[in-house]
Structure 1
């Protein structure tokens, strides 16, 4: 009997500690299945007349285009190229007026030429002194053809030298379907495609001096006086630029608009070439902007506390793996979204402890949301360990 008692005591003395410290089984996890979905496609409302295209800053190419896409007359949209090329040669810092330009008889001659060609102009007198910034504003806001010529020659020494630089600029920026033959767009030989002009608009908006100028509805210059922007849509429907173009048989507009979609600012760039007149063109542009904005979706991916997995232990512990935070993404048109959740094996844990993640693939980009426990999950208690020595 003594031997049996000793054996029992030994078994208890050894077995109880072993039962307590022996590994316990992991909680069983039920994980949400992989999910796929797609957002609704966009329907952009471009005008039925002329040639048009629209895109956004930060996305390459265009979102939509309509009408003939061969190069068409740019008219005064040409001045956007001129100002970019001038600023490439003579850059300005934000808020800087730049060098002073003394106007002379040559500049008076440019005015006479523009008036003879029935182009838009602003007054000039020999001896006037004007800052580079003021000359840019006079060129862009009321579309003064003579000031475009003055700036180009001031920066490059001659029109041919300017045109060499402008053509190099177009080539360097991939604007292969754009041709310039003068500084201001008076010639019908200044031509471009809607797609090129959307790209040109993006480049212009990336230049702080030009971006600030094209959103100005009015300005007051010391010599010239009050200036009024030829773009009558400024301030309408978020439209904040860029440049009108007018010629004998038609009207053009390169436009930009800034709108909020969810937590994102969307910068739209579009162009309409070959409208009958500016009122006809202007009446259609807000609908283009609205339709682009409508094509975006503020897509909620995860909500705080959203359940992606449930844990259940053999000793009665229950917990859920939930999204730690809200995550959303602004997506364009028909975006494909794939969701896949994964969780770690656990035997217990504290509320808020990270236990996995849910990964979203949104049109090629990846968004990861942490998963945490929504409550304490009790580790295997001593009584369960003792009653399940073999696990």
Structure 2
């Protein structure tokens, strides 16, 4: 089937158009060539400006991204937990009564420690036995003071009546020391014969010689007790052989401190043994001298179940200065039990002062993290311990500062522990390094960078 032929009129019109094709010209081609050149230059300029603006925008972003400020690393801290320490217990003697005073530890034990810090029993007056002789010595030295521990004082010559006291007290079962008729010795040595072996015959002979009579001595003793506020103490004779010589634990602590403060008495009661003309070799009845820091003072015994000790001790416990301890035990069942209980008391007091470990080197106390994924740890730079008493509460504070750089080993702060009067501080260091973000991270994380204004600032 063949297509129909076009009409003749159409063919002739088409042929005429083709014949005149060369005469057809686009109206734009008829524009002046100069105009065309201007238009072309304008187009090139516009294109160039667009390219420059695009490049400028891209370059500005890169410059901003590479220099824009970033928030500092996030530092998370956790102060180390303060250790909990068990409370110390002072070993209490199993006796009729006891009391303890500690001087030099007010910052740890409280101001009350220098008075009666701990005690047992009712606090009522009890027989003090030969502790009486310590009071007798104090009353004598109040009447006839010696200038120093080396001052011999006046010379005492004992008569036959003094010598007869030896036999009288021997029959009574009291402790005695030889006192031959006509024996002469210094007041200092006579006091030593009375206190070191606890010789009752020397106590009466010396007190009668100094005051003229026992009545005068007892009157002076009452005045001395009153002047020193010792209302709980009663003295009826100078030796302690009478159970009517009584005192309270609190009074005895005060008497012990007065005795320890007297250089003559303090020297004598700290002497384990002495050899005196006429009296011979004398040994101290206080078998604890030199044990657990004990420096004195005086034993007392009235028989079974009435063993007593008034003592002083110097304890080195780690404080700035040693502690001065005064203690008394009344009514012990035996000399051995009294001594054992005193040592236990002093040891428990000494052990109550201790160094408590609070930190180890490398112990973690925080972390450092950045938006770009770099991390490090905060650690304590050295081990630390704090000196304290018993279960004194320990508090912890931590001070962390922003460092100029986050490099391994850099110190960034401190941790401080406080317990009572003491503090200890350890450094906090960075473990690991925080590297700055890479250029790629900056270019690909614009939302985590500062503003353009921030960058200009």
TM-score (norm 2): 0.63
Query: Structure 1 residue 286: deviation in Å?
Result: 0.9
Aligned position for 1:73: 127
Q: 1:12, 1:108 → 2: CA distance?
A: 119
Aligned position for 1:24: 72
Q: 1:320, 1:87 → 2: CA distance?
A: 67
Aligned position for 2:450: 390
Aligned position for 2:46: none
Structure showing greater radius of gyration is 2
Q: What is the CA deviation profile of residues 9-35 of structure 1, one whole-angstrom value per residue up to 9, with x for unaligned ones?
A: 77777886663xx773552223234x4
The change in CA–CA distance for 1:168 and 1:39 in structure 2 (over 3 A counts) is same
Determine which of 216, 223, 233 is the counterpart of 1:178: 233
Aligned position for 1:51: 96
The change in CA–CA distance for 1:231 and 1:127 in structure 2 (over 3 A counts) is closer
The change in CA–CA distance for 1:220 and 1:104 in structure 2 (over 3 A counts) is closer
Aligned position for 1:305: 361
Q: 1:156, 1:316 → 2: CA distance?
A: 91
Alignment pair present for 1:39 and 2:39: no
Q: 2:282, 2:423 → 1: CA distance?
A: 51
Q: 1:165, 1:233 → 2: CA distance?
A: 32
Q: 1:184, 1:381 → 2: CA distance?
A: 88
Q: Which has the higher contact order (CA 8 A, sep 6+)?
A: 1
Aligned position for 2:195: 140
TM-score (norm 1): 0.72
Q: Contact 2:92 / 2:120 at 8 angstroms: preserved in 1? A: no
Q: As a proportion of its length, which structure holds more strand?
A: 1
Q: Contact 1:103 / 1:129 at 8 angstroms: preserved in 2? A: yes
Q: Contact 1:51 / 1:69 at 8 angstroms: preserved in 2? A: no
The change in CA–CA distance for 1:306 and 1:88 in structure 2 (over 3 A counts) is farther
Aligned position for 2:186: 130
SS in 1 for 2:89: coil
Deviates more, 1:317-326 or 1:150-159: 150-159
Which residues of structure 2 form unaligned runs of 5+? Answer: 1-48, 104-112, 443-447, 452-457
Q: As a proportion of its length, which structure holds more helix?
A: 2
Which residues of structure 1 form unaligned runs of 5+? Answer: none
Aligned position for 1:271: 328
Q: What is the CA deviation profile of residues 138-180 of structure 1, one whole-angstrom value per residue up to 9, with x for unaligned ones?
A: 2210112354456667877862564255214531xxx442233
Q: 2:210, 2:375 → 1: CA distance?
A: 77
Alignment pair present for 1:293 and 2:347: yes
